[in-house]
Structure 1
């Protein structure tokens, strides 16, 4: 009883490829999204930082702002004013020189009491109050803030955090507008405090209101890009106070031994002083030029676009064009990244996109090849199921059963297709055989019988001889055709065959036929034994056909002799069969091994035959991985040489 269920037809190649494409596209798109979204947890941000630094050094072509000046506590100033730290009265004298400055920001943490010079603290406090636009720093720790002394806090117009925002590789690429302790104490950044002190509260508010997260610093250049005024020269009046009129003046450590320096993306060499980093951040705030980065969700979607784009194209491209497309997309990602940074100050971390696109080509090649391989395997199974092909394909399959690579399977498919083509050719030969070669003698028999009925009868003996001749011709055609079909498609039973014994037996079997034709047949061998891998029955019939032809086409010749000779040439045994018959012209040799080919049909002494014997010989030689060669000329006899792979030494 039928269950009512019908088996689903196997997927075609196009369906397999389509399903694989959907799977690869979804998988790699999700992978790229995940790599981008979790880049920090996965450690990919280090690669993004490397790209960021290179782009910063090549794409950021800014110049120092004239609104910002740096007074540096450099090595020369320390040499002139004495060992660091200096007395705070010195800073008070400096403030007197900076009365025209818009704001003075000290990148110095004035947090320690100095009982020995208490009057210096009073001087600095008075100088700060007199100036009225001094900003001092604080350092925010997880559990507390460390700021200047209370007297200085009251004298300063503002306080701001100078915490360095270090990325995972220790490079300062951004600032945070606010720093918060565990007990929720908040401190705005030093740059925001400078802006408020300079009467630009709107910029400060915009800075922290619109950009609550990290702000990427657009560095004007490598360390030393800003013009630096030595502290000692400003203090001595060598640099006039008018140089700082209406400017944001930052005072900070510059000397190599003070330790206030950090690695920055705009330089691969020396580190940048903290006060110059503040100057770059202040310039970014004044000009509203920051390096912005999309949020994690938006960036993940943007990172996925190149991967999806390549997947979309690879569905229809050849392997070569797919490879070029992948390479060009990788270059395009880096180029778009550079252009976005250069002209829009937009940073698009490329690592996730690069990894996604890098995976597309090998993964798609793998999955499309797997789909093609499964299709090839299915087609091979179908061909194995064909009775006409089953034997021949299975006979060779065990030799390569362990090789599952694409080239090996394509080779098997090509072999199967070749066998199928051969089968089609055989069917065409069968149709021709049935429609022409078989019809001709049968039509002649029917014509004879019709004449017999009409009273135009031949003598009985002649009539029977004619019928017998046509019947024999028909049987010969059938026998030759069946043998050729078997030789081309039947499964061979291969085993070790000793050629000396086989050829001796074949020559002996034809000795009576040669004697009857007044000929001699001889066998010679250069070795006592010679082994080949072959089907003994098919091989014996093949050599028998060559010997039969040599006898038939040598009868009546000047020197009726057939010689069979066996020798060794390298890795092959060569069997030479030579006769002294009428020979074969060069033109005839071109079609000698084609089925149903016969020459001299109009000659009365021409031997009978079906024209399939040499086609059978060629088929057997090919099936045994051998070759056949003929040397002949009209009236000079013929020599056939069959080479078969040898076994053993």
Structure 2
């Protein structure tokens, strides 16, 4: 590794370290921000969904046996008649509940019962005689309007409590306010469950609820819906089918249960739940201190950081696959830990901020590390002189890459492919060059030295003129080899000087240059220009040399007084330049390696083997122009060499 390459590698590692530190900082700030601002619409929805899944995953508390529900169900309505019932019926029910510790009538009694005016005093008397009855009032969502029972009933009740509920924007009820301040001012109004607890003598529960700040929503831990609280039909209790002793020292809630009657709300456990059942759960939460507490933002942020840092460390040290697995595992671990924390301690960590950071860690790090690696590769490719941009027409000089930008992944993949190809080509060329230098270049020089040595040993047998003729011949052979080798190297790597060229004119010029050579051997060189419209964007010098090489070979290996025909044809997609001679032909087993560097056809006394570079040059030039070179031949039938070029070139 060179010093410059080592410096570039150190620079890439330093860049990756800086990128990693920036990633950790960004993810930490993102997680903290989303944790602090967890009420943002999208973040809130994620937290709500995660909360519901956590509630469904943990074991819900069993309903308390000290709480009973008297349900106004379908069977009771069928037995007692259409709803609403007379208030004297409720008064009769209270007569059977004197043993209850507290009774909550979840019934809206805000208007006088005008049809039977004597029922209201009768119900007020029953409430007063019981002494532990709680009636509901309602505070409108905006806090402006308070709906209360009629004065006679309100005065007779032991307490009043709010039954209003404010579901989250998705329609699910997750929390209640134990105390809520009216918009017009005044003392906070207690929730129905808090009023029930006060009447039932649960001072500790009341004290805990009053410790919550006013207007703070506390999350309810709903009981298992499959078990439910003890449920008794209203009609069965009223008729005496349920003994009065069943309700002794229990908190009894009376409310609607029938379909289409009363309010039913969605809860995190799924499905719709009757309002009276929700009240029973809030009473149990208040009494047993089951409220779900949201952990402070700083606690959630620290817990998230405890996972974000290991994940980022893993991304920086592990493989891509293991880094992704680590990020996913950390996300699942956080959710499982959060659910267990909810069940064991009643605390819950809003996961949206941490999950967002964990989910973004892998793609962000992959993007930045890939970008840093690609820039390092770009720098290395620049050292190999692999061009950054394609040609103006969207075609790279070596590879048809399509109209892609230089910074896109396909363009970089093409450049990398080209670099690998060049390295393979360079390795192959190195071996071939060593063979060329050790054999082809050494042979003429060795012959010259041998001739000089023979001249020294036997000057009388080797005349000076003969020696000079041999030296000249070997020198010209060496120069010809060097020229072909240099031209092949230029054809393989030098940029193409493309210009519009008429193919008829180019072929005619190549034939004209070789007319003296053909005439010397009595060979008729034929070419008839038939395609004046045949125009292509070519490097005229390289293509002229390639066509000239084919003509030279045809003249060299063709018999004297024969014909070498050069033609130009088209099949709508390609221009085909054919050069045909009437020579001895080429056996099929030798045609496979015709266009490979340093692969020579066997010669004879009159026609020595070539250098093995001429046809390789032809194929290289054809491929650089988007085409190919080919040969059709058989022993004793001559040979036809073809350069095929795309019409659009």
Normalising by structure 1, what TM-score? 0.81
Equivalent-residue separation in structure 1 for 2:288 and 2:158 (angstroms):
23
Which range is displaced more, 637-646 or 191-200? 191-200
Which range is displaced more, 153-162 or 375-384? 153-162
State whether structure 2 residue 39 is matched by structure 1 residue 36.
no
State whether structure 2 residue 172 is matched by structure 1 residue 171.
yes
Instruction: Check 1:442–1:97 CA distance in 2 against 1; reply closer, same or farther (3 A cut).
Output: same
Instruction: Check 1:626–1:100 CA distance in 2 against 1; reply closer, same or farther (3 A cut).
Output: same
State whether structure 2 residue 97 is matched by structure 1 residue 95.
no
Secondary structure of the structure 1 residue equivalent to 2:594: coil
Counterpart of 1:485 in structure 2 is 489
**Residue among 535, 540, 551 paired with 2:555:** 551
Give the CA deviation at 1:256.
Answer: 6.5
Mapped contact 2:586–2:638 kept (Cα < 8 A): yes
Mapped contact 2:500–2:537 kept (Cα < 8 A): yes
State whether structure 2 residue 510 is matched by structure 1 residue 506.
yes
Counterpart of 1:4 in structure 2 is none
Aligned residue runs from structure 1 range 340-355, under 5 A: 347-355=348-356
Tell me the matched-pair count. 627
Mapped contact 1:37–1:299 kept (Cα < 8 A): no
Equivalent-residue separation in structure 2 for 1:368 and 1:181 (angstroms):
56
Secondary structure of the structure 2 residue equivalent to 1:185: coil
Secondary structure of the structure 2 residue equivalent to 1:614: helix
Counterpart of 2:581 in structure 1 is 579
Counterpart of 1:540 in structure 2 is 544
Give the CA deviation at 1:501.
Answer: 2.5
Instruction: Check 1:67–1:472 CA distance in 2 against 1; reply closer, same or farther (3 A cut).
Output: same
Which range is displaced more, 532-541 or 371-380? 371-380
**Residue among 462, 469, 474 paired with 1:465:** 469
Mapped contact 1:161–1:189 kept (Cα < 8 A): yes
Give the CA deviation at 1:552.
Answer: 1.4
Equivalent-residue separation in structure 2 for 1:452 and 1:194 (angstroms):
131
Secondary structure of the structure 2 residue equivalent to 1:492: coil
Equivalent-residue separation in structure 2 for 1:310 and 1:350 (angstroms):
16
Mapped contact 2:386–2:418 kept (Cα < 8 A): no
Instruction: Check 1:156–1:529 CA distance in 2 against 1; reply closer, same or farther (3 A cut).
Output: closer
Equivalent-residue separation in structure 2 for 1:257 and 1:68 (angstroms):
24
Give the CA deviation at 1:525.
Answer: 6.1
Counterpart of 1:448 in structure 2 is 451
Equivalent-residue separation in structure 2 for 1:529 and 1:280 (angstroms):
92
Instruction: Check 1:344–1:562 CA distance in 2 against 1; reply closer, same or farther (3 A cut).
Output: farther
Give the CA deviation at 1:571.
Answer: 0.9
Equivalent-residue separation in structure 2 for 1:315 and 1:421 (angstroms):
32
Mapped contact 2:518–2:555 kept (Cα < 8 A): yes
Counterpart of 2:269 in structure 1 is 266
Counterpart of 1:80 in structure 2 is 80
Instruction: Check 1:427–1:253 CA distance in 2 against 1; reply closer, same or farther (3 A cut).
Output: closer
Equivalent-residue separation in structure 1 for 2:14 and 2:83 (angstroms):
81
Normalising by structure 2, what TM-score? 0.81
Which range is displaced more, 393-402 or 544-553? 393-402
Equivalent-residue separation in structure 1 for 2:534 and 2:144 (angstroms):
96
State whether structure 2 residue 414 is matched by structure 1 residue 415.
no
> What whole-Å deviation, never above 9, does each CA across 1:335-393 have from its counterpart, x for those lacking one?
6656665676654434334443443444344433433443344334433399xxx9xx9
Which range is displaced more, 326-335 or 522-531? 326-335
Instruction: Check 1:610–1:200 CA distance in 2 against 1; reply closer, same or farther (3 A cut).
Output: same
Structure 1: tracts of 5 or more residues without a match? 1-7
Which range is displaced more, 11-20 or 461-470? 11-20
Which range is displaced more, 569-578 or 169-178? 169-178
Equivalent-residue separation in structure 2 for 1:348 and 1:98 (angstroms):
43
Give the CA deviation at 1:240.
Answer: 1.6
Instruction: Check 1:83–1:383 CA distance in 2 against 1; reply closer, same or farther (3 A cut).
Output: closer
CA RMSD across the alignment: 4.3
Mapped contact 1:547–1:577 kept (Cα < 8 A): yes
Counterpart of 1:236 in structure 2 is 239
Equivalent-residue separation in structure 2 for 1:185 and 1:288 (angstroms):
24
